[in-house]
Amino acid sequence: MDIKECLEKGLLKESVKDINKALRSIEISKNKVNRAIRLKNKGFLEDAVVNIYSSMFHAGRALLFKDGFNEKSHYGLYVYIKEKYKDKLEIRFLNELDALRIGRHEILYSLESTKINKGDVEDVISVAKDFTSAVEKLVK
């Protein structure tokens, strides 16, 4: 799927470019990372992963707001960033965003328990921080 298909299917919507929304979304991203760190430190690893994904999601939304789009689907946001920013963002960010999108879905909706270790959570926290910083540079 590409951006054009996402627009046709309603997964993305064109909007007005809004730098203020983009900057607010970056702040939310940073807050979500901090919450994830606190949750990880208290042993709530699944909740930490959900917040890490939320952090990356909000950072990604900042790019959409900057460009004049709104997401109507988590997958649509991923497709947009992958297509529009593949040459401006490290591939590890795109890979982790998608992996966390899928992992978040499993954590929230699966009937099976998920096995998450603290080291993996620490790794994705680092990626989310780096992603947010990279997005912030693109927005400013």
Q: How confident is the model at residue 112 (pLDDT cuts 50, 70, 90)?
A: confident
Q: Could you read off the pLDDT of 11-33 as tens digits, one per residue?
A: 999 999 999 999 999 999 999 99
Q: Could you read off the pLDDT of 63-85 as tens digits, one per residue?
A: 999 999 999 999 999 999 999 99
Task: Give dist(CA 4, CA 88) in Å, integer.
Answer: 20
Q: Could you read off the pLDDT of 34-70 as tens digits, one per residue?
A: 999 999 999 999 999 999 999 999 999 999 999 999 9
Residue 29 identity: S
The radius of gyration of the chain's CA atoms, rounded to the nearest angstrom, is: 15
Two tokens, residue 43: 């042993």
Looking at the 3D structure of the chain, how many domains does it have? 1
pLDDT at 45: 94
Task: Give dist(CA 65, CA 16) in Å, integer.
Answer: 8
Range of the domain at 75: 3-139
* SS (HEC) of the chain: CCHHHHHHHCCEEECCCCHHHHHHHHHHHHHHHHHHHHHHHCCCHHHHHHHHHHHHHHHHHHHHHHHCEEECCHHHHHHHHHHHCCCCCCHHHHHHHHHHHHHHHHHHHCCCCCCCCHHHHHHHHHHHHHHHHHHHHHHC
Whether residue 139 contacts residue 22, with contact meaning beta carbons closer than 8 Å, is answered with yes
What CATH number is associated with residue 10? 1.20.120.330
Q: 70: burial class by Cβ within 10 Å (0-12, 13-18, 19+)? A: middle
pTM as predicted: 0.93
